[in-house]
């Protein structure tokens, strides 16, 4: 087999059907052996738990081609662990974490011709997900589930590539205290759709959510965590129980400290103090590190350096680790082949 004939450098963030996906089914209290399939469609009852009560969660991670031609994944064990948390939060059975990682490896191997080449800027995005598949009409958890992983080649998440983003402070909330904001439940994204469509219509790239209890602290955006850099070069990122614990953000905090010798602070960040920061960025698997140029808070424009020197360094180091140019901490890079 040969690499697919794709204009890798011009890929956006859109679904492209690839050759094989992984599927496993849960019934009578057990997961079956799981297998790869070419069938990209799913047939379920009209009354499935996922369709009626949104019983579904998902993950996102990427496979890359490194500088020396290996195919690798970035910290898939972290996605396995977070998916287990999401499942527990939604009364779904956990797909064993070791099997999750094995399934990721199988899917990447089976679609290796879809892994973009080194230097193209693109990657193979993997989307593990699980849903309640049997009929439930009373509000209760399903008893049967399907776990799947598909792969799709992607480029930058935000249109315009590295152009600094313009965000707005959202009037709508994403997550309630003690709600589901810290897990990757499909419902968190369903309820953000109206707000993201409105943000785009108003000329913004994303919504910045504040804490819904007091509306005074910065949380995250609809699809990424947020990082700030102080004027004296410290990395500051929100501490909150209602944001998704981004694997990219946790990795960046470690990179900042251990590779760049930076001071790192995770703490509550007041909306009223963000005009004190020099740089701002969004981070996530899809977003990678996307520089922020401006946050608009109801007419007040707060500007940042865009791809400033610190965000650039963080980006270069994290990308360097993912691309095999810089040696990462133990266990960060899972070599597929």
Q: Would residue 270 show up in a list of annotated catalytic residues for this protein?
A: no
Is residue 60 a contact point for ligand COI (CB under 6 A)?
A: yes
By CB under 6 A, the count of residues binding ligand COI is: 5
Q: Which does 112 bind (CB under 5 to 8 A by kind): ligand PLP, ligand COI, none?
A: none
Binding segment (CB under 6 A) for ligand PLP, from list 4-12, 164-172, 245-253, 304-312: 245-253
Which of 168/249 has CB closer to ligand COI? 249
Backbone angles phi, psi at 258, to 5 degrees: -85, -30
The label of the residue with tokens 């792969």 reads 151
Binding mask 184-223 for ligand COI (x = CB under 6 A): ---------------------------------------x
What are the DSSP calls for 313-328, one per residue? Answer: HHHHHHHHHHTTSSPP
Which of 181/284 has CB closer to ligand COI? 284
**Helical residues (DSSP H) of 211-303, grouped into ranges:** 247-258
Written as six digits, the tokens of 17 are: 């059907």
Is residue 285 a contact point for ligand PLP (CB under 6 A)?
A: yes
3-state SS assignment for residue 201: helix
Backbone angles phi, psi at 245, to 5 degrees: -70, 90
Q: Which of 144, 130, 174, 137 has its CA nearest to residue 53?
A: 137
Is residue 76 a contact point for ligand PLP (CB under 6 A)?
A: no
Is residue 223 a contact point for ligand PLP (CB under 6 A)?
A: yes
Is residue 284 a contact point for ligand COI (CB under 6 A)?
A: yes
Which of 144/249 has CB closer to ligand COI? 249
Q: Which of 105, 125, 307 has its CA nearest to residue 223?
A: 125
**73 — alpha (psi -120 to 50), left (phi > 0) or beta?**
beta
Is residue 245 a contact point for ligand COI (CB under 6 A)?
A: no
Residues 6+ apart with CB under 8 A from 196: 206, 207, 222
Which of 79/146 has CB closer to ligand PLP? 79
Written as six digits, the tokens of 43 are: 């047939």
The residue number with the shortest CB distance to ligand COI is 60
Give contact residues for ligand COI (rule: CB under 6 A): 60, 223, 284-286
Give contact residues for ligand PLP (rule: CB under 6 A): 60, 220, 223-225, 244, 246-249, 284-285
Active site residues: 184
């Amino acid at each position: 087999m040969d690499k697919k004939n794709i204009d890798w450098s011009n890929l956006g963030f859109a679904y492209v059907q690839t050759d094989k996906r992984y599927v496993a089914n849960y019934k009578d209290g057990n997961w079956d052996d799981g297998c790869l399939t070419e069938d990209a469609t799913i047939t379920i009852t009209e009354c499935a738990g996922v369709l009626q009560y949104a019983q579904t969660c998902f993950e996102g991670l990427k496979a890359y081609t490194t500088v020396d031609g290996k195919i690798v994944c970035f910290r898939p064990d972290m996605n396995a662990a977070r998916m287990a948390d999401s499942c527990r939060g939604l009364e779904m059975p956990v797909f064993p974490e070791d099997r999750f990682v094995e399934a990721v490896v199988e899917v990447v191997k089976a679609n290796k011709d879809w892994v973009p080449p080194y230097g193209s800027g693109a990657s193979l995005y993997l989307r593990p997900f699980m849903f309640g598949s049997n009929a439930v009409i009373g509000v209760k958890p399903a008893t049967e589930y399907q776990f799947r992983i598909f792969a799709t080649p992607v480029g930058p998440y935000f249109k315009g590539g590295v152009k600094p983003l313009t965000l707005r402070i959202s009037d709508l909330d994403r997550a309630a205290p003690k709600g589901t904001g810290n897990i990757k439940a499909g419902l968190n994204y369903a309820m953000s759709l109206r707000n993201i469509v409105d943000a785009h219509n108003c000329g913004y790239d994303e919504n910045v959510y504040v804490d819904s209890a007091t509306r005074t602290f910065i949380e995250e955006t609809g699809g990424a965590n947020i990082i700030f850099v102080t004027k004296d070069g410290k990395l500051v990122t929100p501490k909150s129980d209602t944001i998704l614990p981004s694997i990219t953000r946790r990795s960046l905090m470690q990179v900042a400290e251990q590779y760049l010798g930076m001071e790192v602070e995770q703490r509550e960040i007041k909306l009223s103090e963000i005009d004190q920061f020099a740089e701002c960025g969004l981070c996530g698997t899809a977003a990678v590190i996307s520089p922020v140029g401006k946050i608009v808070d109801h007419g007040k424009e707060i500007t940042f350096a865009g791809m400033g020197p610190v965000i650039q360094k963080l980006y270069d180091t994290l990308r360097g680790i993912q691309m095999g140019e810089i040696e990462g901490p133990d266990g960060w890079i899972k070599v597929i082949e």
